[in-house]
Structure 1
């Protein structure tokens, strides 16, 4: 299945028959009924002042508050075809990690235009996401303006004052996992000049208490939902995989909204400013 998904994502971005890629998109009229699959994709629609066209979104679409009120169609990686189809969308905007592949193809056969945009946590891919969504919505000028504003704001981002070793932790299910180098969280660290303590790891993987202690992170970065899954920040830091680390003992932890930290969306400058400020405030033991 992973091989199939990789092939499908590449084909979708290159213009696989039956699906439309973001590049070279053309349409006759602005869509009136839009469903978003992927929190960053939905967020871009609202950032382009096109939220009035949204009739549904997936469970990861948590921002802005208006998106929380939309009918939900499951999680974008395994969304409900029936749920999307019931909303009668004329446009489905999807992250390239949406699926399964056959589900998007089925939506297209049912009459919905399906546009796939890249999800990679890079500035180039963010530009493509915004411009692709804007083209699909028929608001190309707004897309170009939004990209310009983001790049202008990013020029004001400064590296953290001291090099910091950071452990990026996710714990939505109660099981601690650390982020490797090919993740959105690690990309955020690079943009503010901090160091991920697991640069050789791929993706998110469980880690032991012994491994966490050996990594000796200066700061722990995690998300609001990860802390909520533990019940409190104290309970989160008391977990065996974290409690013995220098960062946990000194309570040097940065907690950020999940979509803000991991979405790599139109609020990227705000996310980097928050991360930068949090790391700077915890650059030395208190």
Structure 2
């Protein structure tokens, strides 16, 4: 019933927009000055950038991945970044959407694009350059490019320092990032992921960089990867695992990480966010990797 009502809602919204177009009522995104008083931030790092720019007073909502800083919790939650609904987004009457690349589903994005609300698509590359581009994109959309430029320069310098300090500390350390162990199956992060990006910036080596994205590993792939350390997000539920649980896996138990019981956990939004706090995350990860092997 709920699915049917949602479908009817989407059909009505789309029909109304098409009718407006047929009548010559072209819908244009508002300018930055006009469309920046009721802002919705989608993506934890996007919300962090808005706060870092000290423009948080314009936020009227955020998505469920936006958990930092603590003040963000006071904002209405419109849902998970990849499971947004038009109803949830439109319910807060926004005039600007800051949407991190990968927001969805596409069905929702299509409706929002036709609604006339200004949308800024924020890039999400897992590099220092990607973080700078993210800051500048958000700043431009909010109409504060000068503030964004100042923040970008500071963050760029912090990232450079963090990389310099991490250099040489974890050469040849093979790190396996495990996203999930649900059902006893190991889901790991390969190339072109936030996990791969942060491991590389911390001066270590991703143990499974032969594929892109997140994939389940066979026992043979785990043994071939031979990780020295397993890295996970510190969280609860089905995606969590203790060191005892993790290394009871027959293949992982035979790796250097398993034999030495080396499991490192860090908060996911901090570790993988690629935003204003990433320089600190690089330094913390590099130090933790170095200490756990000593």
Judge conservation of contact 2:35–2:96 (CA < 8 Å) in 1. no
Deviation readout 1:158-178 (Å, 9 max, x if unpaired): 224242111111117564211
When normalised by structure 2's length, the TM-score is 0.81
Q: Identify the match of residue 289 of structure 2 among 273, 279, 282.
A: 279
Structure 2 CA distance, aligned partners of 1:141 and 1:122? 22
2 CA distance for matches of 1:90 and 1:143?
A: 20
Q: CA deviation at 1:233?
A: 4.1
Structure 1 pair 128–252 and aligned structure 2 pair: CA distance change class (3 A): same
1:27 aligns with 2:32: yes
Quick one: distance in 1 between partners of 2:267 and 2:232? 9
Deviation at 1:52, TM superposition (A): 1.7
Deviations 1:42-85 (A, max 9, x none): 11111111112211111211211122332222221221110010
Q: TM-score, normalised by structure 1?
A: 0.83
Residue pair 2:96, 2:118 contacting (<8 A) in 1 also: yes
Q: Offset at 1:153?
A: 1.2
Task: Name the residue aligned to 1:266.
Answer: 276
- 1:239-283: CA deviations, max 9, x gaps? 445333221331222211101111111111011011111111123
Contact 1:55 1:89 in 2 (8 A): yes
1:170 lines up with 2:179 in the alignment: yes
5 Å-filtered alignment, 1:3-82, equals 27-29=32-34, 31-82=36-87
Over the aligned positions, Cα root-mean-square deviation in angstroms equals 2.5
Counterpart of 1:124 in structure 2 is: 129
CA contact (8 A) 1:168 1:221 kept: yes
Paired residues in the alignment total 264
Can you list the C-alpha shifts for 1:124-178, whole angstroms capped at 9, x where unaligned? 2221211110111122222111111112112322224242111111117564211
DSSP 3-state at the match of 2:61: strand
Deviation string, structure 1 residues 166-214 (Cα, Å, up to 9, x no partner): 1111117564211111111111122122111112111111113443233
Offset of 1:97 from its aligned partner?
1.0
Structure 2 counterpart of 1:134, from 126, 134, 139 = 139
Contiguous gaps of at least 5 residues in structure 2: 1-25
2:210 aligned with 1:205, yes or no?
no
Query: Could you say which residue in structure 2 is the equivalent of 1:257?
Result: 267
User: In 2, distance between residues paired with 1:225 and 1:172?
Assistant: 12
C-alpha separation between the residues in 1 aligned to 2:60 and 2:266?
A: 28
Specify the SS of the correspondent of 2:224: helix
- Tell me the CA shift for residue 28 of structure 1: 2.5
Q: Computing the radius of gyration over CA atoms, which structure comes out larger, 1 or 2?
A: 2
- What is the match of residue 187 of structure 1? 197
SS in 2 for 1:60: coil
Alpha-carbon separation, structure 2, partners of 1:227 and 1:270: 27
